[in-house]
Structure 1
Amino acid sequence: MAKQYTAVQVYEMVDRYYQMKTSLGLAVVSPYSVDQKNTMVQDYDNLGMPRAQGVGDPTARQALNPVHEMVLPERMVKDYEVKVAFIDEWEHVITKQRDRAVLHWRLSGLKPINIAELEGITDRHVRRILNDVAKKMSEMSAMSEMSKVS
């Protein structure tokens, strides 16, 4: 039987999804990366300017570089795998276009303030949407479990 999660727990899992996936070494489509060389400007060569070697900003370099070899305790690996699988399994129940877009951006690692700028809404509205998404995912998984028991 699959584990049941409250809406608060699902919200926290959505919030930490990107970190959990990268900690497990799984590929995540990052909204920060532009090209294979991890540079911020994709078409820089066509501007006629000399190309820098990589990213000079340490914060951007840390955000763009793949996670270095991390050693997680086995129980943490299993916990992360279960939580990532739960989100992957239940994200399809979100049907509203804006809700799906906000969820996509959050799962990709963007912070609510940045999502708000992209979507043209307030960060408070983004958090409200994420709360609704978490509630729906929690309810749908609970209803699914009840139908399996009956």
Structure 2
Amino acid sequence: MNTPHTSGPLASLKINHTAIRVPDFGSAVAWYADKLDFRVKQTVSVAGLSFSFLYPAGDDSFHFELMAGPGAAERPTYNDLHDSYNMSGWHHPGFSVDSVDAVIDELKRRNVTIASEPHDVPAMGLRVAFFADPWGNLFEVIQPITQ
């Protein structure tokens, strides 16, 4: 493995947020709040688009920037994880959780689309599952496999 660079301009890079383009602002903000318990910290309008900064229930170090307004092209929706492997570009963010199974059970209770049921990936030492929002964006939940 590579050793981390501890000096230089790029040594300060840290993940802050990722943006998700959605066609309908109100529906998207409501979905992320109702289905994932995300919190809205700020909403602004810039250049004809509405932006909302959404934080996971227990994490203030990372957020999603929802961008909404006219002109958003549709993404494919995924009910099966393997169908998503055909699309280039960003694939999914991953969330560390205490229990993949408990999170997926709760998301099912909230009628969230599950793209991949919980399963172990021994080569990575992880238990994983994937779910999707109504706009075709995939998300992964992960936990270490306990021996």
TM-score range for the pair, normalised by the shorter chain length: under 0.3
TM-score, normalised on structure 1? 0.21
